[in-house]
């Protein structure tokens, strides 16, 4: 009898240990997905889609927490210092992972060492748009206008160091033009000035700009992806504008799933697989399409290669242009 009880006790202990290692573990804490920007944008929507399905499929509480501030650094640092048990995750962005490390000199985390890559999530291009009254109807005429009036044109962005800002800096560098950058606290503050003509252009998010392009309030010059977007095939890419220096122009805003460094490799694999399954669901693809988001849930190896390539690219541009965070 004692042998039987000992066997049962050992079995319960073994099951408990396995349960502790499995993800998600409902016996410890809820899963938290940290979004480093305010609600409503692409990172927030991606987080809430994952939370919705994880909670439904695993019967485990999943919480989306918005921790905005300092260009996404506040929330990123919070995750970097969290317990690597798979219950604290981060929606990483091109800014927080490949731009901010070179833009901010005193970060309290190292994006390469303190974060674990889990999977790429989705991407979306920006689109170069003009106020409807700007006397240019294509990229060539816009460049000519800018060259004839150095710093006479201005472009808005949602903040220093954003992909919108760096798209504008890269455009100037490649076309040898001088266009004044006007940073705002966010798109909500920037758009009224663009529509009112106080600034003349912007590299806006495609999904956000599309309604204004279709209504005729903004003129689209080209998307910043290498090819045309399937969500707006009528808009050419900047690389096909006929301007030789823009032939390889490519800037896409992308989003990833990260965790604190030191996560259990089995948890990383399981979370990546679960994410891939969710993003391939037809109803999820349809929801993402309304935001011009292209899901592409590749695993950690592909994500690490992307982070490395974009880090090299943006660090070079930041150094050459002397961009500094305020």
Task: Write down the residue that tokens 């090299």 correspond to.
Answer: 312
Are the C-beta atoms of residues 231 and 125 closer than 8 Å to each other? no
Taking the CA atoms of residue 76, residue 78, residue 84 and residue 85 in that order, the dihedral angle to the nearest 10 degrees is -110
Mean pLDDT of 119-135: 95
Mean pLDDT of 170-197: 92
What pLDDT is attached to residue 173? Answer: 95
| Residue 206 DSSP class | H
Percent of the chain with pLDDT over 70: 92
Of 26-35, 69-78, 171-180, 269-278, least confident by mean pLDDT is 26-35
What pLDDT is attached to residue 21? Answer: 52
What pLDDT is attached to residue 276? Answer: 95
Mean pLDDT of 199-225: 93
Are the C-beta atoms of residues 77 and 108 closer than 8 Å to each other? yes
Task: Give the mean pLDDT of the chain.
Answer: 89
What pLDDT is attached to residue 98? Answer: 95
Mean pLDDT of 158-168: 87
The length of the chain is: 326
Nearest to 175 by CA among 200, 158, 150: 150
Mean pLDDT of 152-157: 95
Of 36-45, 199-208, 256-265, least confident by mean pLDDT is 36-45
- The pLDDT confidence band at residue 51, using thresholds 50, 70 and 90, is very high
What pLDDT is attached to residue 205? Answer: 85
- Provide, for the chain, the percentages of residues in helix, strand and coil under a 3-state DSSP scheme, each rounded to the nearest 5: 45, 20, 35
Asked if omega into 130 is within 30° of 0 (cis), the reply is: no
What pLDDT is attached to residue 3? Answer: 52
Exposure class string for 58-81: b at 16+ Cβ within 10 A, else e? bebebebebbbeebbbebbbbbbe
d(CA 326, CA 324): 6
Tally of CB atoms within 10 A around 276? 17
The model's pLDDT over 270-297, given as tens digits with 9 standing for 90+, comes to 999 999 999 999 999 999 998 889 998 8
- The better pLDDT of the pair 253, 221 is held by 221
> In DSSP terms, which residues pair with 92 in a beta bridge?
256
Start-end of CATH 3.40.190.150 domains in the chain:
28-124+253-321
What pLDDT is attached to residue 213? Answer: 95
Tally of CB atoms within 10 A around 270? 16
- Which CATH architecture group holds 125-252? 3-Layer(aba) Sandwich (3.40)
DSSP track, 44-75: HHHHHHHHHHHHHHH---EEEEE---GGGHHH
**E strand map for the chain:** 31-35, 62-66, 88-93, 115-131, 154-157, 180-183, 201-205, 218-223, 252-260, 294-295
Check pLDDT > 60 for residue 8.
no
Mean pLDDT of 162-191: 91
What pLDDT is attached to residue 236? Answer: 95
Q: What is the CATH number of domain 28-124+253-321?
A: 3.40.190.150
What pLDDT is attached to residue 10? Answer: 44
Start-end of CATH 3.40.190.10 domains in the chain:
125-252
- The pLDDT confidence band at residue 106, using thresholds 50, 70 and 90, is confident
R_g over Cα of the chain: 22
Are the C-beta atoms of residues 175 and 144 closer than 8 Å to each other? no
């Amino acid at each position: 009898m004692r042998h039987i009880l000992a066997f049962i006790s050992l079995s319960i202990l073994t099951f408990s240990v396995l349960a502790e290692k499995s993800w998600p573990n409902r016996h410890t804490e809820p899963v938290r997905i940290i979004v480093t920007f305010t609600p409503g944008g692409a990172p927030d929507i991606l987080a809430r889609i994952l939370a919705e399905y994880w909670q439904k499929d695993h019967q485990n509480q999943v919480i989306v927490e918005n921790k905005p501030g300092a260009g996404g650094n506040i929330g990123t640092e919070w995750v970097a210092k969290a317990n690597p048990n798979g219950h604290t995750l981060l929606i990483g962005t091109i800014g927080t992972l490949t731009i901010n490390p070179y833009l901010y000199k005193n970060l309290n985390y190292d994006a390469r060492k303190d974060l674990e890559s889990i999977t790429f999530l989705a991407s979306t291009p920006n689109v170069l748009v003009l106020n409807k009254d700007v006397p240019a109807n294509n990229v060539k005429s816009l460049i000519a206008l800018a060259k004839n009036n150095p710093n006479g044109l201005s472009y808005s962005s949602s903040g220093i160091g954003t992909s919108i800002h760096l798209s504008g800096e890269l455009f100037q560098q490649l076309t040898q033009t001088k266009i004044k950058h006007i940073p705002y606290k966010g798109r909500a503050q920037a758009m009224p000035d663009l529509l009112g003509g106080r600034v003349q252009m912007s590299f806006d998010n495609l999904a956000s700009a599309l309604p204004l392009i279709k209504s005729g309030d903004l003129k689209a010059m080209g998307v910043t992806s290498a090819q045309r977007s399937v969500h707006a095939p009528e808009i050419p890419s900047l690389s096909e504008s006929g301007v030789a220096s823009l032939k390889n122009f490519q800037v896409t805003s992308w989003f990833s799933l990260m965790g604190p460094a030191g996560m259990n490799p089995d948890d990383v694999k399981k979370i990546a697989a679960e994410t891939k399954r969710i993003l391939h669901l037809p109803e999820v693809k349809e929801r993402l399409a309304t935001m011009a988001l292209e899901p592409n849930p590749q695993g950690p190896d592909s994500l690490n290669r992307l982070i490395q390539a974009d880090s090299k690219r943006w660090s070079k541009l930041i150094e050459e242009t002397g961009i500094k965070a305020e």
